[in-house]
Amino acid sequence: MKYSNIITLEQFKEFMKDVDSADRWDDFETEEWESACEFAGLNYHDYDDPDLLFYDLQKVLENCRKYRNSKRYNLYENSGEVTLEKVHEGCTVDMVEYDPVLIKSFEVSSDEDPYLFEVSPDEDPYDASAKEEALDELKKYSSSVREFREHGTNKRLFDVTEYYIEEDYYDFDGEWCGGGDIWDFTPMKFEVISEPNKEVLAVFDNLADAEHFMNYEIDYNDDLQNARIELQETIEAEKDKPSLNTDISDRYGQEDVNEMTFHHHK
């Protein structure tokens, strides 16, 4: 017998699907009906009418669909092209349209049975360890900024790639049904560094302020001949991690692509 020991939601879903498409419900053994009822919290022997039994089993299934969503903390990579004034942490999700790439997903577990419909949707039995794992994984990644000139206009633009953790909910069938709260991004701090002694003069949370400081607020002299801006790396971030994006020079057919280091000379 195929369904004599139903212990998972997938088995229960498959049983109900097969019953619904069967020519005769008595094609299924009593032990299979008993197993389905036990999983659903019903007593098979309380029913004389098979139609009523099937109706109540369907209600359990529908309540599973309604209440028992899964929650995942998703690690996304997102890229976008922005102007100087918009280069800051989170800028890639501030755009009207963006298309993030899912890197890794951390699905939470529950101390409660995740399939019993009587668990209130207002309760939050989810395990926070999945969020902690996702945030720890995020530390292995770092943001990147590349400058380029737009063809035709020669407009100065920046291609920004960053990573973030988003909390999302998925329904009974695995389809996204809500969420969107972002817990954290890969940091984006811009250091203004002096030359030749390589001293960090200031740190900014956006590129425009860093560039203004470098160009207009530093008193350049013989000891401080020039300065540069670099994107600060996190200690945990892996160096030279390959990006899922194609190289921007390939995308724009240009050779004059600069890494995130800008110089000012005396």
Report the distance separating Cα 74 and Cα 179, nearest Å.
Answer: 11
CA angle, 238 as apex, 213 and 199 as ends, to 5°? 30
Does position 120 have pLDDT exceeding 90, yes or no? no
Report the distance separating Cα 188 and Cα 203, nearest Å.
Answer: 10
- Tell me the mean pLDDT in the region 98-110: 85
- Tell me the mean pLDDT in the region 139-150: 92
Report the distance separating Cα 162 and Cα 142, nearest Å.
Answer: 7
User: So what's the pLDDT on residue 46?
Assistant: 92
Does position 64 have pLDDT exceeding 80, yes or no? no
User: So what's the pLDDT on residue 109?
Assistant: 59
- Tell me the mean pLDDT in the region 3-22: 85
Residue 265's pLDDT band (cuts 50, 70, 90): very low
User: So what's the pLDDT on residue 83?
Assistant: 93
Which has more pLDDT, 20 or 245?
20
Does position 152 have pLDDT exceeding 50, yes or no? yes
Q: Is 131:124 a contact under the CB 8 Å cutoff?
A: no
pTM above 0.75, yes or no: no
Q: What is the dihedral of CA 103, 246, 257, 188, to 10 degrees?
A: -10
Q: Left, alpha or beta for 126 (phi > 0: left; psi -120 to 50: alpha)?
A: beta
User: Which amino acid type is present at position 146?
Assistant: R
Does position 258 have pLDDT exceeding 50, yes or no? no
Does position 69 have pLDDT exceeding 70, yes or no? no
Residue 118's pLDDT band (cuts 50, 70, 90): very low
Note the residue count of the chain: 266
- Tell me the mean pLDDT in the region 141-148: 93
User: So what's the pLDDT on residue 114?
Assistant: 44
Does position 233 have pLDDT exceeding 50, yes or no? yes
What pLDDT digit, counting tens, does each position of 166-206 carry?
Answer: 998 887 677 787 788 999 999 999 999 988 788 999 999 99
For the ranges 51-55, 158-162, 227-231, 247-251, which has the lowest average pLDDT?
247-251
Does position 239 have pLDDT exceeding 60, yes or no? no
User: So what's the pLDDT on residue 127?
Assistant: 53
Residue 196: cis peptide before it, omega within 30 degrees of 0: yes
For the ranges 3-7, 20-24, 85-89, 158-162, which has the lowest average pLDDT?
3-7
In the chain, domain spans: 9-67, 70-185, 190-250+258-265
- Cα 79 to chain centroid, rounded: 13
For the ranges 134-143, 166-175, 249-258, which has the lowest average pLDDT?
249-258
- Tell me the mean pLDDT in the region 110-132: 51
Residue 246's pLDDT band (cuts 50, 70, 90): very low
